[in-house]
Amino acid sequence: MRLRGPLVITSALGVAVLAVSLVAVRTSIGHTKAIRALAVQTTIILDLGIHETFAPPPADAVPAMTAQEASDAFEGRHIPIPDFVTVQLGLFTLPVGPDCGFECEHNNIVRGDMVYSWLNKLVWGFSRLVCPAGSDRPEWQCTEWDFLNANTGEYVAGLSPRI
């Protein structure tokens, strides 16, 4: 009958491990749902002339960094993201143009007969409206964008509207 003590302790440890596992799973699911809520919902054409786009990420996309962590890595210090800035997770594509051989292919991505600086790069897109209040311009012509690599915080690209 001396085995009762070790058995009780082992059972208690098992229950504790199960509880911690359940909390970890719930946290992971919550994190995934939060990322889904931040994902861009439809493809945004950023520049009609070159077909620069910001598109929804795959359903299983999980960036290594939050938007704040990516921003902090880029800035080199913590600066809170302002309330007037919208942050979305998505895939950034920046075409260079038709494939023109080695000159175009150097440090670029080639798919078919097209060359890209970035092709479906998982990024955090930071946007803000820059037109004056009361402007009659469409929102897409008034939006300034910056894109940071969602896994490293490195700057990928930016786009400022012509005002």
Global pTM value? 0.73
User: Do 148 and 68 sit in the same domain of this protein?
Assistant: yes
pLDDT tens column, 86-144: 999 999 999 988 887 777 767 888 888 889 999 999 999 999 988 877 777 766 678 89
What distance in Å separates the CA atoms of residue 55 and residue 121, rounded to the nearest whole number? Answer: 10
Cβ count within 10 A of residue 142: 15
- What is the domain range of residue 28? 1-38
| Domain count along the chain | 2
Cβ count within 10 A of residue 103: 9
User: Do 115 and 103 sit in the same domain of this protein?
Assistant: yes
Q: Is the CB of residue 87 less than 8 Å from the CB of residue 125? A: yes
